[in-house]
Structure 1
Amino acid sequence: MPGPAPHRATSGGEVSSDPYGYDIERVDPNAPARIGGGRAPRRRRRPWVRWALFALSFLMLAASAVALYLFVILPLGFGTSLVAFTAALVPVAMIFAAVWWLDRYTPQPRMSLIYAFAWGAIGSVLLALFVGTFFDAWISPAEETQLVDSFLGAVVQAPVIEETMKSAGLIGLLVWGRRYISGPLDGVVYAALIAGGFAFTENILYFSQSFHQAQAAGEIAVFWQTFFLRGILSPFAHVSFTALCGLGLGIAAERRSLMLYFGLGTGGLSLGMVLHALWNGSTFFLPVDPEAPLVGFLRYYASVQVPIFLLLVAIVLFLRLREKRILRRQLSEYGRAGWFSPDEVELLVSMRRRRRAEAWAARHGAVARIGMRHLISAAIALGMERHSVLFGRTTAKSRARERELLEEITADRRLLGALTAPVVRS
């Protein structure tokens, strides 16, 4: 991996020596165009406005976290909050494991992942509590019973407000730049983290309320029933709802279409609201057997919610395999242009070979391992950026980004070659 590809490219972008023999069909008839002459443009520093907005966003989230603790968590009591927090760690750990598996192939910046979870756990919860109060008053009739109020709150107010507030975090990532959400799987990953954060805080509130009821009744079964329903049976409920909006926005970002942003984003958000309303509304329509109150819900859960969840899982697995095919195809195009050898392409598209390459580099020191990891990351970004460019018009910015990534890969090759080559020949 540390050495350059053995073949050189001609001015037309084709390999001048023996063909590589890739079995990947060429998508771009011009192949990755050879980087032309002239000096590469210097990488511009990010504008201070962007950094200021980024810092302001995190400060607002920190202030919101303090307000959420003082006005929502603290009144529950320290002991109750600690029990609820511990119980809420179980479902959020499942979500973290799923997101880690989805994101590890084309990993996203850690700071943006932290922002997504923080927005879901803090910002979206506070906005949902604040805006939901006014929305509930707006949709409530002048004379309503407690049943009507509960129904409107669960089936109308909660799906509309909660899904809108969670999706606002995805809009924020799109405003900051396409580097965060550039494809459908990216949208699903960020949506899952936002929804996981929202569910984490919501579970703390629900578990605390249930724990209070269990203490008042002197029966712990009430708490364990709530934990079973929310922590074991439905840890991915919120993730499934919000992922539909993330999927739509990710497809639009890949196509670079403003109309698709609105159409698919709104469509995914609306479908997520419908699934959310279907989930919450089940408690109002299912028959309840006093002797076995959970039987009707479990029957509904197995016949309706499980197939919906399995369908969404199948879509996510398809997107995961799709990213691998995209990366192989685009890096093979760069291989035809002389930037990678076939073995290097196989290394870059295989998680096992990536780990073996990092382990090999680690034997030569921490710097070599960092260089190998950065080379793999730059090559992944190069392939995915190239795929996105094929759907739109090639611009000076996209060409500069291509040049920047190729220069980073070249610099990493030189670093690895210097660190791994023997000092004295045998």
Structure 2
Amino acid sequence: MSSMSAPPRPGGPLPPRGEPGPVREWHDVPRNDPGNGGYGYDVERVDPRAPGRLGGGDLQPVRRRGVWLQRILWGLSILSLIIVSALLYIFVIRPMGVGTSLVAFTAALVPVTIVLLAIWWLDRYTPQPRITLIYAFIWGAAGSVGLTLLFGGFFTAWISPTEPEAITAEFLGAVIQAPVVEEFTKCLGLLALLFWGRRYIGGPIDGVVYAALIAGGFAFTENILYFGRSFHQAQAVGEVAVFWQTFYLRGLLSPFAHVSFTALCGLGLGIAAERRSLMLYFGLGIGGLSLAMVLHALWNGSTFFIEVDPANPMAGFLRYYLTVQVPIFALLGAIAIWLRVREKRILRRQLSEYGRAGWFSPDEVQMFLSMRKRRKAEKWAARHGALARMGMRDLIRATVELGMDRHSILFGKPTAKTRMRERELLERITADRRLIGALSAPVVRDTATTA
């Protein structure tokens, strides 16, 4: 990987430390090393303020799908999921009754809020497009649930003996049908995002975030059904403890159960996407899906093997939960935290390389790496108007995408499409810097400092 040495910076006033200031004219930048395989800093930075003068290198025309066509397909996909959501409400949730539905919906908000807060923390460092985040949640809450209800019965009938006993049918449904069908339909949402483009799932943490959202949406709808059913039972027997026990088990003890299962498939697909390997897509994708099914089966099957003490029915489950499930959840949580730390290291390494090429100052690199400094930079830009703040936010997002994309590209062979993507991001960064510089520059020249 080649690097370009930046020329000396001209003097002049700077904004507060860690915030980007006015863009300056830099000239006499060394040309690219032709021995780097056509990649590296192959956008010739003749003048950072003039995107039209950025050198194109050996870029070839890249066929791109029309923006409007993509938006139409996105709209149709989300519309279809909304229709499925309406059908689920009409035929599945509404028959429970208005009062029961409201109670179940309110109770289901508790675990899904916990899950969404965790996903927000995990995603906020390198945020994904909101439209795809919404799509993932709706797929989990409607698409995967609808497919599970549609095909789950057929799958159970296929694997069941001719005249199964009640306990056998219950076991096959909980330990075989539910893990296989539910995890498969949830992972179809990840495959749909991969179909839309690698930029959505470009690394392990992207796959985990989308998988967690899909699983969180699925668990949200499933919890509504479970809470509604237990509320009906509580009303029938006149004992509210039936409902609170279900809420305690599903809402407080296991909000991350579905998330931890599906996240394994997302992790495998994310690693494959980062490595840009078709073989890894199959190997890690199927491996992650299989492991998700195994953990799901272990969770559901525990109720069939745990000894129940009539005097204290919850004791056996709690012992199993603390000795088996808690360590599994803790391990997966530690992996998620490590992925978050890893992202920061990747950004530091890649943005430092761009900094040595002259694109960013050391203070700017530190600003992009720190969430606190990013917020500080946005507040500084907001003092110059909403447009400046929007430009600063887009500058941060584009820079983060640039660093993460370059890390992924280094695992594979650069292509005309990847070079075009880098060029687009660099031009976007340049345009944002021009906008911020123009809006933050003083209107009246300070004669005292220029005299």
For the aligned pair, the TM-score class normalised by the smaller chain equals: over 0.9
CA distance in 2, matches of 1:28, 1:181: 26
Partner amino acid, structure 2, of 1:125: V
**Amino acid in structure 2 at the alignment position of 1:359:** K
In the superposition, the TM-score normalised over structure 1's length comes to: 0.93
Are 2:269 and 1:249 equivalent residues in the alignment?
Answer: yes
**2:43 and 2:55 in contact (8 A); partners too:** no
Amino acid at match of 1:301: Y
Aligned partner (choices 121, 142, 151) of residue 141 of structure 2: 121
For these two proteins, the number of residue pairs brought into alignment is 414
Distance 2:149 2:183 in 1: 12
AA aligned to 2:354 is Y
Deviations 1:121-152 (Å, cap 9, x if unpaired)? 00100100111010000011112111111100
Q: Which residue of 2 aligns with 1:272?
A: 292
- Structure 1 counterpart of 2:239: 219
C-alpha RMSD over aligned residues: 2.1
CA–CA distance in structure 1, aligned partners of residues 37 and 346 of structure 2: 12
Aligned-pair identity (%): 69
Per-residue CA deviations over 1:14-51 (Å, capped at 9, x if unaligned) read: 9xxxxxxxxxxxx9998533437359979966255433
Paired amino acid for 1:142: T
Give the superposition deviation at 1:423.
1.0
* Counterpart selection for 1:106 from 126, 129, 142: 126
Residue of structure 2 aligned with 1:4, choices 2, 9, 23: 23
Structure 1 residues 376, 5: CA separation in 2 closer, same or farther (over 3 Å shift)?
farther
**SS of residue in 2 equivalent to 1:105:** coil
Give CA-to-partner distance per residue, 1:381-408, whole Å, 9 cap, x none: 1111111110111111111111111111
Match of 2:428 in 1: 408
Equivalences for residues 18-417 of structure 1 within 5 A: 31-35=40-44, 37-38=55-56, 46=66, 48-417=68-437
- Unaligned runs of 5+ residues in structure 1 are 15-26
Instruction: Tell me which amino acid in the other structure corresponds to 1:170.
Output: L
What is the alpha-carbon distance in structure 1 between the residues aligned to residue 230 and residue 43 of structure 2?
64
Worse-matched range after superposition: 222-231 or 416-425: 416-425
Contact residue 185 and residue 319 of structure 1 kept, 8 A = yes
Deviations 1:129-184 (A, max 9, x none): 11101000001111211111110000000000000000000000000001110000
Aligned mates of 1:225, 1:122 — CA distance in 2: 26
Looking at structure 1, the residues matched to 75 and 39 of structure 2 have their Cα atoms a distance apart, in angstroms, of 42
Aligned mates of 2:163, 2:65 — CA distance in 1: 59
* Cα distance in structure 2, aligned partners of 1:274 and 1:303: 17
Instruction: State the distance in 1 between where 2:94 and 2:221 align.
Output: 13
Q: Work out the CA distance in 2 between the residues paired with 1:379 and 1:93.
A: 30
Q: Check the 8 A contact 2:43/2:56 in 1, yes or no.
A: no
